[in-house]
Amino acid sequence: MEILRIGTRKSALALWQAEHVRERLLEQEPRLRVELVKITTSGDRILDRPLAAVGGKGLFIKELEQALFDGRIDLAVHSMKDLTVTLPESLHVAAVLERADPRDAFVSNRYRRLAELPEGARIGTSSLRRQCQLRARYPHCRIVDLRGNVNTRLTKLDAGEFDAIILAVAGLERLGFGDRITQALDPADSLPAVAQGAICIESRRDDVDTNRRLAALDHAPTRRCVSAERALNASLDGGCQVPIAAHAELRAGRIFLRALVGDPDGSRVLQTEADGPADQPQALGEQAAKALIERGAKTILDKVYGRD
Following CA atoms 258, 264, 265, 271 in sequence, which dihedral angle do they give, to the nearest 10 degrees?
-20
Cβ atoms of residues 197 and 235 within 8 Å: no
Closest among 167, 173, 288 to 227, alpha carbons compared = 288
Query: What are the strands of the beta sheet with 254-262, ordered from one edge?
Result: 244-251, 254-262, 269-277
Catalytic residues: 82
| Strand-pair partners of 33 | 3
